[in-house]
Amino acid sequence: MLDATLAATETDDGVVLSLRIENPGPEPVTLDFRTGQRAEFTAYPAGEDADGPDADGPDADRTDPVWRDGAGQMFTQALGSETVASGESVGYEGKWRNPPPGTYRIVGEVTATDRDVRAETVVDVE
């Protein structure tokens, strides 16, 4: 099992997102990818989803995202993999340029096949 943490840092021209994946287990873990994309970052209005304000849980992502890092981007169409050794970590970054003011729930997830590795954070954009 892998652990994930997501940090968001507001800058003058956007929000820098850092997704860190750590392997606390005793064995190495291999992440297999179908494309060159390694992580996806998605922003949702904080406290809103299809179940109403302030709902959370497994269906919390059912609203349309405000922003998706991979939208409109092209990625190499080549298989790839990364191995995370025991006690080691790997990081992925994204940047949301010029977001509108508001409070957002940001979800960062690894795009590896057969792995559900994700983390969330809330960011206030002024």
Give me the CATH number covering residue 66: 2.60.40.2360
What six digits make up the tokens of 100? 């509108």
pLDDT, position 48: 56
Q: Which domain, by its residues, includes 53?
A: 3-125
Into how many domains does the chain fold? 1
Q: 3-state DSSP call for residue 97?
A: strand
Instruction: Give CA–CA dist 81/54, Å, rounded.
Output: 37
What six digits make up the tokens of 116? 């559900």
pLDDT, position 108: 98
Residues of the chain short of pLDDT 70, as ranges, are 48-62
pLDDT, position 62: 59
pLDDT, position 54: 44
